[in-house]
Amino acid sequence: MTQRISKYQRFKMMNPIIQFFKFIYLSIKIMIVVAGGHGGTKKVN
C-alpha cells in the first residue's frame, strides 16, 4: 500500500526553521557524496 504524507510530516517538510537546518545538513551530505571522489572500476586496487 502506498505511503501517505502525514500532516506532521508535511509540517516538518515546510517549516522554514526545521528546513534551514535540513538545508545545511543536506548540503554537507550531498557534498560528501558527490565530491567524495570517483574512480575506475576495471582494475581492483
In the complex, what is the shortest distance from the CB of residue 25 to other proteins, in angstroms, rounded to a whole number?
A: 8
With CB under 8 A as the contact rule, the residue among 3, 7, 8, 28 that binds other proteins is 3
Give the C-alpha distances (Å, rounded to integers) separating 19 from 29, 35, 39.
14, 23, 33
C-alpha 17, offset from chain centre: 17
Check binding of 39 to other proteins (CB under 8 A).
yes
Which residues of this protein are in contact with other proteins, per CB under 8 A?
Answer: 2-5, 12-16, 19-20, 22-23, 26-27, 29-36, 38-42
